Amino acid sequence: MDRRMIIGGVGAAGVGAIAGAGFARSARAQSDAPFKLPPLGYAYEALEPHIDTATMRIHHMNHHQTYVNNLNALGAQLGDVAKAPIEQTLSHLSSVPEAIRTAVRNNLGGHWNHTYFWELMTPGGAKAPTGELKTAVDAAFGDFGKFKERLAASALGRFGSGWAWLVVDKDKKLAVVNTPYQDTPHMELQAKGAVIGVDVWEHAYYLKHQSRRADYIAAWWNVVNWDKAAENFKKAAA
């Protein structure tokens, strides 16, 4: 198991009741905490059959909640980190006290990545980008099909756990990259912003696709929120 993997887990059997109880306890305990689990904005079953209900429930209510819990458990050690914009902190990790830097990297990175991921998916959305984002994708990769192949190759090429991204790089050009664990494009890559990102940790797809990461990636294209991606592109390219 990866050294940054969160210890613990929940089996598929009975996961709804277990996850629901844990989520309720966490929500009550953290009502005044600086970090909170964001809502999905759609039902856990909304992305079926592409992303299954059980995976969405465990991914959101257990995995993402754990990152939030870990951040809040740092308490006073966080200092200004708890108040600063998340992207600013992730872009300047060297300014975080060394004693908590790894914990912040893993858990704040995981919190940002997942918050971003939930917003980037939607039921019944468009199947491809339009407008300025489409123009930029075509210019950078040739066409949308070639871009999908490039991102899929990057996602499949990420050994172990991590993410694959379409970013606006520091030169304001579109690029496909991948990051390990819960690292974000704001860290060593110093990207101006992410446009889309796909989670390729096994917990994102294992219940439905087992070890078939390629099948999960192919299914994931059906739930991408291209309206949100266009907003992300506009912000990053500004």
**Together in a domain, 33 and 61:** yes
The model's pTM is: 0.84
Any domain includes 6? no
153 and 187 in one domain? yes
Residues 121-168: pLDDT tens digits?
Answer: 999 888 999 999 999 999 999 999 999 999 999 999 999 999 999 999
Residue 126 placed within a domain: no
Show the domain range for 78. 15-119
Q: CATH number, domain at 153? A: 3.55.40.20
152 lies in the same domain as 231: yes
Task: Identify whether residues 113 and 24 lie together within a single domain.
Answer: yes
Answer whether residue 124 is part of any domain.
no
Residues contacting residue 184 through CB under 8 Å, at least 6 positions apart: 90, 109, 112, 113, 163, 194
What does residue 85 show for φ and ψ, rounded to 5 degrees?
Answer: -55, 135
Interval 63-76: pLDDT, tens: 999 999 999 999 88
Count of domains for the chain: 2
Domain stops at, among 72, 90, 119: 119
CB–CB of 225/197 below 8 Å?
A: no
